[in-house]
Amino acid sequence: MAVGKAHIDSWYHQTANAIADRPTLSGDVRCDVAVLGAGYTGLHAALTLARRGFKVSVLEAGRVGWAASGRNGGQIVTGYARSMAEVEAAVGKDDAHRLWALNEEAKTLIRDTVAAESIDCDLTWGYLFTALKQRQVDDLHGMVKEWAGGYGYEGLDILDTARTRDIVDSPRYIGALHDQGSGHLHPLNYALGLAVACESAGVTIYENSEVTAIDSSETPSFTTASGKVRADYLVLAGNALLGGLVPSIYSKIAPVGTYIAATTPLGANRMQSLLSQNVAVCDMNFVLNYFRKSPDDRLLFGARVSYSGRDPADLAQQMRTSMLKVFPQLTDVAFDTVWGGLVDITMNRMPHLGRLSPTTYFAQGFSGHGVALSGIAGKVIGEALAGSAERFDVFARIPHHAFPGGAFRIPLLRLGMLWFRLRDLM
């Protein structure tokens, strides 16, 4: 896990709550469960286990929330990155309903954790899926039929063009689906709050402690440059940054660069004219734009993806071009900060949980839905290690395949994504 040691320069970091300094692993440590990664998955697994009496150590290569958990779009989204009809086709109707219930619990877990631990992370409920063309309006109606009709989900409202424009002052959108059960938060502050909750429960977190070797045998351990943690069980929660440490599971994800920008402060009146409600918004394109307002009246705008492993050379300009397509009235507005980093996707866009061995569990591949799903993944891993694996096994039964091409899967993925980009234009 070759990553940097400091949080990326983002609006989230600039507005973060107090960030504690935590020790680097030194020497040999013994615990019940060792966790790789201090993001949502690893921290929720650690918290679940610590509350059940386990001695838990968490190893983080950088800082708490350094990676995707501290720099993502902050959007809490209902469902999965595939339709529930596709999920049913893959796992059967019974497991599809179990997976739906787990996703709903993932959102409740955020709500309950924020309340119980008094985490100041601007948690807000309300979300718009916006359509750019009639085909996407039809897709929104299909989502309502599937979610409400098939799974009993409530709180959905289809908006026509006029009602959509009342909320989002953009000429680009012709309709929307308002979901009261999705929402948004400050992702880094959520991660920092989870870390404090873990430590209050007895978890030890080591920062700047990059794992260089994993032993998943009957006597498992993590090795770093300055120490070793021996445990009864290991949890791998490194996602896109796990890299070559575990090739057998890394082949089943692909790292994707995603990017967000924060504008200069717009002022309350102008921000209100762009977004009349404090909702998060994403469009229905495959390569989508997503945005929301910040508490200090900036537009937080996400756009662009990179399948090459390299950031675009003209990233800020590309981001600005995307923003102006949505809000052409912002020609006088500049970005204060632009940031990004890697997330991971799976072939089927469903989360990938499993056992590397009887002593080693992993979770990865949240495919754009990680704010909610990574937390419930950590919780069910904790439950499994504590002796109740039924819910973990629902996720583990999802079939996954390696990306074709082996070491060349990224160039092949880039070619495959061209089709979806073209479809967005149709």
Question: Tens place of pLDDT for every residue, the chain, 426 residues?
Answer: 334 478 999 999 999 999 999 999 999 999 999 999 999 999 999 999 999 999 999 999 999 999 999 999 999 999 999 999 999 999 999 999 999 999 999 999 999 999 999 999 999 999 999 999 999 999 999 999 999 999 999 999 999 999 999 999 999 999 999 999 999 999 999 999 999 999 999 999 999 999 999 999 999 999 999 999 999 999 999 998 988 899 999 999 988 999 999 999 999 999 999 999 999 999 999 889 999 999 999 999 999 888 776 788 899 999 999 999 999 999 999 999 999 999 999 999 999 999 999 999 999 999 999 999 999 999 999 999 999 999 999 999 999 999 886 555 555 555 445 444 545 555
Tokens for 119, please give them.
């985490």
Q: Which residues pair with 345 in a beta bridge?
A: 254
Strands 211-215 and 221-224, by their bridges, are: antiparallel
φ, ψ of residue 339 in degrees (nearest 5) = -145, 170
Kindly report, residue by residue over 79-123, the tens digit of the pLDDT: 999 999 999 999 999 999 999 999 999 999 999 999 999 999 999
User: What is 11-72+188-252+348-407's CATH superfamily?
Assistant: FAD/NAD(P)-binding domain (3.50.50.60)
pTM, entire model: 0.94
Domain ranges of the chain: 11-72+188-252+348-407
Burial class of residue 237 (count of CB atoms within 10 Å of its CB; 0-12, 13-18, 19+):
buried
Strands ordered across the beta sheet of 221-224: 27-30, 227-230, 221-224, 211-215
**CB-CB contact of 229 with 59 (8 Å):** yes
Q: What is the pLDDT of residue 185?
A: 98
Tokens for 383, please give them.
């439950």
Kindly report, residue by residue over 113-143, the tens digit of the pLDDT: 999 999 999 999 999 999 999 999 999 999 9
Burial class of residue 55 (count of CB atoms within 10 Å of its CB; 0-12, 13-18, 19+):
middle
**CB-CB contact of 347 with 339 (8 Å):** no
Q: What is the pLDDT of residue 411?
A: 55
